[in-house]
């Protein structure tokens, strides 16, 4: 379980305050809100890259507020992809598996499997610099998911995917979450994406957490209204 208490982050003229946020084990939380309100800042504060001015971050009963990222047991898919430019797509995806000491036979099976799911089979031996933005983002998603993380942070992981691949990736992520039971915190601007994936939706506006609710309850709030047209369109394309 992840618990955030009285968290205040201040960066120059920016301020983010979270009075309380609880993410239960195996829960999928999606964070929404306008651009620039602190969604990504919250992810990187949970990760340990950004230090809060005050407050506590507790993971599985342990206060990790002042712990470095490598001691938090969290994996992130960053918005800028974070791929290793000197490695092939295959080696980028395999990186975390090798770091965990898995055999090359197991690594190959897992890499090929997730590459097939995300439509990466034909580019496995290319370098990131030769890929489109959407292809790079799919590689980042594959690299994060292939290690089957316990806690996964996702910063708009589908933003550069074409509709067909996005739908397939969303379905895969939902099934993988159901199968593996990791805890996920996912930032997006798309309510349809949130409704499809989330157990709960958190909405941040003007630097403050306004509400945490189930998708059904969130859809009835004032904050959902601008997004409802998109929801009806996209949910027709995915299996609920």
- Give the integer Cα–Cα distance in Å for 35 and 38: 8
pLDDT in tens, the chain (240 residues): 999 999 999 998 899 999 999 999 999 999 999 999 999 999 999 999 999 999 999 999 999 999 998 888 898 998 788 999 999 999 999 999 999 899 999 999 999 999 998 889 999 999 999 998 888 888 998 999 898 888 999 999 888 777 877 888 888 889 888 988 899 999 999 888 999 999 999 999 999 999 999 999 999 999 998 788 766 666 666 655
pTM (global) more than 0.85: no
User: How far is CA 167 from each of CA 94, 164, 231, rounded to the nearest angstrom?
Assistant: 24, 5, 13
Residue 99 CB partners (closer than 8 Å, separation 6+): none
Strand partners, 211: 203
What torsion do the CA atoms of 103, 94, 107, 159 make, to the nearest 10 degrees? 150
In this structure, the strands spanning 62-63 and 208-213 are unpaired
Helical segments of the chain, H only: 39-47, 89-99, 104-117, 133-146, 163-180, 191-197, 215-218, 228-235
pLDDT of residue 33: 95
- Give the integer Cα–Cα distance in Å for 42 and 118: 27
- Give the integer Cα–Cα distance in Å for 78 and 86: 18
* Order of all β-strands in the sheet with 74-77: 62-63, 54-59, 2-11, 14-23, 208-213, 200-205, 28-32, 183-187, 151-155, 74-77
Question: Under CATH, to which class is 2-73+149-235 assigned?
Answer: alpha beta
pLDDT of residue 239: 54
> Where do the CATH 3.40.50.300 domains begin and end in the chain?
2-73+149-235
């Amino acid at each position: 379980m992840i618990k955030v208490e009285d968290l205040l982050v201040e960066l120059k003229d920016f301020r983010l305050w979270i009075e309380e946020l609880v993410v239960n084990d195996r829960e999928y939380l999606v964070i929404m809100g306008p651009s620039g309100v602190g969604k990504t800042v919250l992810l990187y504060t949970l990760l340990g890259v950004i230090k809060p001015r005050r407050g506590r971050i507790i993971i599985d009963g342990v206060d990790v507020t002042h712990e470095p990222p490598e001691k938090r047991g969290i994996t992130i898919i960053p918005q800028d992809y974070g791929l290793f430019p000197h490695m092939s797509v295959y080696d980028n995806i395999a990186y975390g598996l090798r770091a965990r000491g898995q055999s090359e036979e197991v690594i190959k099976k897992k890499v090929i499997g997730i590459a097939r799911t995300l439509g990466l089979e034909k580019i496995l031996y290319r370098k990131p610099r030769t890929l489109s933005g959407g292809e790079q983002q799919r590689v980042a998603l594959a690299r994060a998911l292939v290690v089957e993380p316990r806690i996964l942070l996702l910063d708009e992981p589908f933003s550069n995917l074409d509709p067909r691949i996005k739908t397939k990736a969303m379905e895969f992520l939902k099934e993988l979450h159901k199968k593996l039971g990791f805890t996920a915190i996912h930032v997006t601007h798309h309510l349809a994406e949130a409704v499809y994936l989330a157990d709960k939706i958190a909405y941040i506006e003007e630097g403050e957490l306004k509400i945490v609710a189930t998708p059904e309850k969130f859809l009835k709030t004032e904050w959902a209204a601008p997004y409802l047209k998109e929801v009806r369109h996209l949910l027709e394309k995915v299996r609920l």
